[in-house]
Amino acid sequence: MVARAISGLIGLFMLYSALGWILDPTTAAAGLAMVLVEGPGDTTLGMNTQIGDFTSFFFTAGLMACIGAYRNEHVWLYATISLLGSAALFRTYAGLVHGADYLTMAIYAEIIMSALLVLSVYLMKKADS
């Protein structure tokens, strides 16, 4: 039951973030220390990429975690673990290799949520055996 609650709450949080990108992308971008950008030649292609990619990231992460919680099946959680864990990894990479400022709160949140989902996987597996 705890595993389902953890993964379900994380999933709902991710879906809420996706909804923010759908309804108010300017505020959602600001929450990640970004502004919506234009593309080359004063097009809005950069904005399209930001909205499309970030919405799909949060939607997929949230959906997979919620399905895992609802079905009580740990295999659904691996997609969310992969998305969140790799986001933390590549945010760190951006700082180390490219000199980007570290968005430490996001990195910490992604690591903590990934760890909680790994715990959920463990608890779901343990309950199955």
Q: Is there a contact between 104 and 53 (Cβ–Cβ < 8 Å)?
A: no
How distant is the alpha carbon of residue 94 from its chain centre?
A: 17
For residue 90, CA distances in Å to 10, 20, 58, 100, 111 come to 20, 23, 16, 11, 12
pLDDT digits 0-9 by tens, 2-47: 999 999 999 999 999 999 999 999 999 999 999 998 777 778 888 9
pLDDT classification of 70: cutoffs 50, 70, 90: very high
Asked whether the predicted pLDDT for residue 90 surpasses 90, the reply is: yes
Q: What percent of the chain has pLDDT over 70?
A: 100
Please provide the distance, in angstroms rounded to a whole number, between the alpha carbons at the two ends of the chain: 15
Q: List, in sequence order, every beta strand (DSSP E) within the chain.
A: none
Task: Please state the domain extents for the chain.
Answer: 2-128
pLDDT classification of 93: cutoffs 50, 70, 90: very high
For residue 58, CA distances in Å to 16, 97, 106 come to 8, 25, 13
Mean pLDDT confidence for 85-98: 98
Asked whether the predicted pLDDT for residue 86 surpasses 80, the reply is: yes
Length of the chain: 129
- pLDDT at res. 8: 98
What is the 8-class DSSP label of residue 75?
G
